[in-house]
Amino acid sequence: MAIRGYYLGCPGWGLKAWVGRLFPAGTKHTEFLARYAEVFNTVEGNTTFYALPTPEIVARWNEQVPATFRFCFKFPRTITHDAMLVDCDDDVTTFLHRLTPLGDKLGTLFLQLPPRFGAAQLPGLRAFLSTLPAAFHYGVELRDEVFFHAGPAATELVELLAARDVDLVLMDTRGIQSSKSLEFADVRGRKPALPVLMRTTGTRPLVRFVPHEVFEESRGFAEPWSQQLATWIEEGKQPYFFMHAPDDTFAPENAYTFHAMLRAHAQVGELPPWPGAPRQLGLF
């Protein structure tokens, strides 16, 4: 039993709260990645946004996952937020060199650009992408609303990325934004509330989905994505889908539910039986 036709994962590969649920009881922290990779075939690597792993850690990651697994790491914030893609060649070289030992296990490396990165910065994005080595695959996430409405900026962006087979990173926060929970008010404040456009500019569309804390409240948002992924798979694309949760505690359960949705539209294989304790079915 295994996922096929697309990549499914969570943001990060190990929370202590997953022990006894996604991970069997007694799983040690050093075993989290290997256990995670027995279920999912990709991971959204957010840690590189803040700091680079040591070469020893990268080597350890490489040993713990199968050849079919894909790491999707964010470019460091020093490149995307501090330098705004300008005069950061050394940082880019260091980032790519550090991850190169992962070889084919590297999936999409993506730029998460800040809201202040708007239409005026597109020439900088064009220049930056032109310097990146072709050995890797890239994605770009933008947060200025100008790119989400018809107009010159959106057109230029799509043409720029499509010409280089660079994918748009699509973030859907409608689920968490529809929540009224005070517990997750800070999460809503940190997540962008942007229009959702199911568009792709490359061959590996990448979706980041942040649902309501009660996943069933987000079913109306998730179901169209299952249909869209099925279409992309039929077209020969290899989509990535990263399932979140407001604090990521129940991201694995949410991912299992989404995979079941997608299986109704495409032959994407089966996830293994739930590894840990019985799922809390009341969440669904």
pTM: 0.94
Q: Rounded mean pLDDT of the chain?
A: 94
Once rounded to an integer, what is the mean pLDDT over residues 228-245? 97
Mean pLDDT over residues 51-56, rounded?
97
Q: How many CB atoms lie within 10 A of CB 185?
A: 11
Q: Return the residue matching tokens 């229009």.
A: 195
**7: confidence class by pLDDT, cuts 50, 70, 90:** very high
In whole angstroms, give the CA distance from residue 82 to residue 86: 9
pLDDT of residue 23: 94
Q: Tell whether the model's pLDDT for residue 22 goes beyond 60.
A: yes
Q: What does the pLDDT read at residue 160?
A: 97
pLDDT single digits (tens) 211-232 = 999 999 999 999 999 999 999 9
CATH number, domain 7-277: 3.20.20.410
Of all residues in the chain, what percent carry a pLDDT higher than 70? 96
Render 119-166 in DSSP notation, one character per residue. Answer: GGGHHHHHHHHHHS-TTSEEEEE---GGGGSSSHHHHHHHHHHHHTTP
Separation between Cα atoms, residue 155 and residue 269, nearest integer Å: 36
The model's pLDDT over 159-202, given as tens digits with 9 standing for 90+, comes to: 999 999 999 999 999 989 998 888 888 888 888 889 999 999 99
